[in-house]
Amino acid sequence: MILDLSKAHMVDYYYNHMKKLYKENVTLCYTDTDSFIMHVRTDDIYRDMSLNSELYDFSNYPADHPLYTKGQKSIIGLFKDECKVHSNGEYIGLRAKMYSFITADDKETVVAKGIKTRNVRFEQYKNTLFNCSPLLSHMYTLRSFNHQIHMVKVVKSGLSPYDDKRHLLDDNVHSLAYFHRKLKEKH
């Protein structure tokens, strides 16, 4: 029930706020149960957010930021700018729970469910996507055999440009869900 309410809240925000405000100037790059990554084309995102401040929790901004306030801190249902990917930020999403971005202050975030990300960098995501060059992940893990614990080296498929849930379009940037009507029109 809670997850359904969360999804409904996210859909409502995207379609009834972001799409109404920005129309074709907003693109949804990534969604999860409680987060979005969007590409928004606007002159001043902070000005836009200030005009709709009732939707946001700005308590994580630096104290000297014009939007900073603790007045709406931790209020359920408000949106928070967690990564500040504004103006010069970059994002690469390979598939669900496998993405990376660089924020405006050049901090890298790498998410890769199922593999160790300690040595994985944004440029490797970019190379994987645009050059179709998969990356194997080597890691050590503990495994139990006959009730004895052993350290085992595991080689897994790490980064891959192939998504089993979406069809990557020819530009290597946009994708559509398999069986989307636009894919049927192409064939």
The number of helices, as runs of H, and strands, as runs of E, in the chain is 5, 9
Split at pLDDT 50, 70, 90, the class of 10 is very high
CB 116 within 8 A of CB 134: no
For residues 183 and 48, the model is more confident at 48
Q: How many CA atoms lie within 13 A of 37 on its CB side?
A: 21
pLDDT tens-digit map of 118-167: 889 999 999 999 998 888 888 898 999 999 999 999 998 889 988 888 88
Q: What is the mean pLDDT of residues 95-109?
A: 87
**Amino acid identity for residue 108 in this structure:** E
Map out the domains of the chain as residue ranges. 90-187
Total Cβ atoms within 10 A of residue 128: 22
| Contact partners, residue 85, CB within 8 Å, separation at least 6 | 37, 91, 101, 102, 103, 104
**What is the C-alpha separation between 12 and 147, in angstroms, rounded?**
51
CA 66 to chain centre: 26
CA 164 to chain centre: 17
**What is the C-alpha separation between 23 and 10, in angstroms, rounded?**
17
pLDDT of residue 84: 59
pLDDT of residue 186: 64
What is the percent of the chain where pLDDT is above 90?
A: 43
Pairing of strands 135-145, 148-159: antiparallel
Whole-model pTM over 0.85? no
